[in-house]
A and B are shown apart, each in its own frame.
Chain A
């Protein structure tokens, strides 16, 4: 399985989107890469959205937060394995903006559609390729008991 995420963390990231509605939420997925290239999420770190100018359709995680999360993850023997954000009243599919701003190749980009304040669909996409020819592909994920 490409991405495995515990039920509690899955619910948490969806609820984050509900809490910030009608604005986009965002966060970092911390976990481990397995030998088969799959990812197991161990933590979903809620982040602030610095796009206070346009939070209803844009998100940006402060690099200072990423630095801190990356450092803490590595101290714990883990890695940043992906990111999540929400699409208020918009499908859970990546946009051209999502692709343009995606730079963490090999990581998962999890998107939740939040319609009228309720989390509906959550999809995961894997960023592949080098910067000049990158793409986001549908990624299978499993919500595990723990």
Chain B
């Protein structure tokens, strides 16, 4: 099925400058794989060399962090929205 992925500002240069990309997937993992297949330049910005999501990259399925669901195995449905948000932190 086809679901939407919201691309954050810093990753749009690697995603054809698009804010939203449609991917074909049954799971979150397939969605991210399809995203990287459509836009290979995204891969190194999303994943570390071991293929796992980079620690500062958060992926939400609607309002749920996939780390607290079934991660890549989390099933998706047609109306779902996948959001990618790099973390925001800092301090003195």
With a cutoff of 8 Å between Cβ atoms, the chain A residues found around residue B19 in the complex are 74, 79
Task: Count A-side interface residues using an 8 Å CB cutoff.
Answer: 43
In chain B between 47 and 75, which residues have their CB closer than 8 angstroms to a CB of chain A? 54, 56, 58, 60, 63, 65
- Chain B contact residues, CB within 8 Å of chain A: 6, 8-10, 13, 19-20, 45, 54, 56, 58, 60, 63, 65, 81, 83, 85-92
CB distance from A117 to the nearest CB of B (A): 16
User: Cβ of B10 and Cβ of A58 under 8 Å apart?
Assistant: no
Which of A103, A105, A130 has the most C-beta atoms of chain B within 10 angstroms of its own C-beta? A103
CA–CA, A68 to B86, complex, Å?
13
CB contact between A131 and one of B6, B45, B83, B85 (< 8 Å): that residue: B45
Number of A-B contacts (CB under 8 A): 99
CA–CA, A90 to B90, complex, Å?
14
User: Cβ of A101 and Cβ of B92 under 8 Å apart?
Assistant: no
User: Cβ of B87 and Cβ of A60 under 8 Å apart?
Assistant: yes
With a cutoff of 8 Å between Cβ atoms, the chain B residues found around residue A58 in the complex are 89-92
User: Cβ of B91 and Cβ of A63 under 8 Å apart?
Assistant: no
CB distance from A46 to the nearest CB of B (A): 13
User: Cβ of B58 and Cβ of A63 under 8 Å apart?
Assistant: yes
- Chain A contact residues, CB within 8 Å of chain B: 24, 26, 28, 33, 51, 54, 57-61, 63-64, 66-68, 70-71, 74, 79-81, 83, 85, 87-88, 90, 94-95, 97-98, 100-107, 109, 127, 130-131
Question: Chain B residue with minimal CB distance to A47?
Answer: B88
17 A-B Cβ contacts within 8 A? A24-B91, A28-B88, A59-B91, A67-B85, A71-B81, A71-B83, A74-B19, A79-B19, A80-B9, A83-B88, A97-B92, A102-B90, A103-B88, A106-B9, A107-B10, A130-B45, A131-B54
CA–CA, A103 to B89, complex, Å?
9
Contacts known (A81-B9, A103-B56, A105-B10); A64 close to B65, Cβ less than 8 A: yes
